Chains A and B, each alone.
Chain A
Amino acid sequence: MRSLNTTKPKTRLSNSNLLFMIAGIIFVLMYGFALISYPGSFMQFQTFFDLFNLNSALFIVTLGLCVVMIAGGIDISVGAVCGLVTMACAMLLQSTMGSIWGALLLALGIGTAFGVLHGFLIAYLEIQPFIITLGGMFLAQGLLTTLHKDPINVTMPAFVSLRNFTIEIPWLGTVNRLGYFIPCEIKPGVIVVVVLVIIFAVLMKWSRFGRNVYAVGGNSESARMLGINVKRTMFFSYVISGLAAGISGFVFLMTTGAGNIGNGALFEMKAIASNVIGGILLNGGVGNLLGAPIGTLTLLTINELIRAAGVQSNLQAIVSGLLLYVFIVLQSIVMSLRGRRKFRLALPSWLKPQQLQDDKKIDN
């Protein structure tokens, strides 16, 4: 396919890739602007890595939500599930029979349970996803407050060592004012994020499931006529989202080391915003999975930039809202300019040209 692309450079870019490119360019411009305006802080590699270190849970939630959004659904329970997992794991670790593997299993179990519940109700009983995941959100929040109301600080030695564990990159770093060389640090959560991004990208691009997700999100009726099991695809997209929420809860606990009611609050809104910036539309069927981490990075860079500018906290929310507005309008203008020339593609290019190519091969 790539060789064909080089021989035929006029192959149209799909909407997914176009939106992804816009997201990438916006992120590069944003970070470039940050570098120029605040070279002191943004020039350091550690600042960039800290975006990952402190927000790895948000990245994972965004990835899971991305799959559901491409399949044309919505899952607003992710933040609450993430919070529930942190509290449940913290309680388990603080109890006498706590172990890290047990906590990990608990996190995966809670996430999968919520995913299976949502997936079954939405896919097989055909209930509106917004209401069901809203119910899931209430359920998770209620369970969270029922479990424990006060923050729990995990003091289990094995977990504390895991929390404090950092990977140093010896060849990257900064020299501080006293002349000491400080290497860059990466938390284990970042590795989880990277691994998950790779797994999800492979899953969405090369597996049958991923292609089914795009087809279902683009037009579920025609996907059904093509012989795709629409219900199973939707079911598994919600299971994946729930699983990602579970993992993100554990990673959240690994970053902060405490279970708290406020953990994961508003993650669902942040994740939706990141996905939209990353070019994944709520309509479904459009979006590149790599757009999810790019969108999250853009959102976090905006927040860091506003923080660095020293604007007061109320203006912060307004400014980030305005920037979101600019992105959304920009995307919409680009899409409409594109739609004016030719009919819009519902499927991504690597699905559509393949069939054309096959036809051509047969013709030849």
Chain B
Amino acid sequence: MRILVVGGGTGGTIVANNLARRLAPEIRARKARITLLSASDQHMYQPGLLYVAFGQMMPDELYRDEASLLETGIKFHVDPVEKFELDQNRVRTKSGEVYDYDILVIATGSRTMSREVPGLQEGAETFYTEKGAVKMFKSLRNFQGGKVAIVVGVPHKCPIAPVEVTFALHDYFKMRGIRDKVEIKYHYPINRIHSIENVAIWAKPEFERMGIKYETLFNVDEVDVENKVVKSMEGSEYKFDMLVSIPEHHGMEVIEKNKLGQNGWIPTDRYQLTMDGHDNVYVVGDTTNLPVSKTGSAAHFEAEVIAENIASIVKIGTPVTEYDGKVYCFIEAGRDKATYAMFDYLNPPNLRAANKPMHWFKMSYNKMYWTTVRGLL
């Protein structure tokens, strides 16, 4: 059985490692082969970018060599896929190689699309890339006071990031002793301050206690860079001195070019995690079109289901389990407190008060991630 994983982020790496351990006897007996193709030889811990934006982590702390994270039975190549030929069960890569498969896992992830909004790329800070996070920190260090606006594109990776960055901004300016010189205004696309109702119920009085202003039903439409004004599709506008953007995301260009899904999101069965119309193609993480958070956590839980099912197909000819929609998200509530949200398709998140131990657990997890992605945790 030839298993091909395309994408070396959280989802693809966990699928490959988990599978390699489950199929160790079959790999030794040459009855199964796992190949991982990635566009990069590096693996980035993306949640760390928020800390880089506030000077709490250095960029080099976010990276490991992808090869160092992989089980020995996995064949790894840095060679991005350019063509998916699903009807022939094969892909073609940038180097010209052709890889045939019996089962394909697509884990290509997502990308920021700041350019979708006129002026946003030039006029806003964002921490969704290494370069952006470093630039944002330098801007924050030089900021002496004025109006800071947070705007949120739809859809976006890490749905908890808008409230996390807002709390972090409040604590950062407080730490520098200039909070009284800064107006922070949070703008959110729907009619409450977070998509998870319990997060909105928790965060609203926290915002009010911290003096953070907010406006809901604000979908960013345009940034007037020269006059420093951000405008919404709903018709309102706000003049800022610093604009922080959670940018809109799309799936990867290769998915769109191969017509696998509009805006790069692949239509996926929410329980089996197979691509619609292709039972031997699995989709994991941000790449799916599922109405599930685009987070490493969702990718992690999906990856475990996919690995278990591919292993059981190899061993007994049938999948054995389903994805239940599980997501677990830490929520940093500033520099020294955190809480979390855990939910699935049937159970809504029940939020607890933010506390210091949960923050230190999150700080520990920032290191423990490297065991998660190896498929050990």
* B and A form one assembly: no
Q: Which residues of A are interface residues toward B (Cβ below 8 A)?
A: none
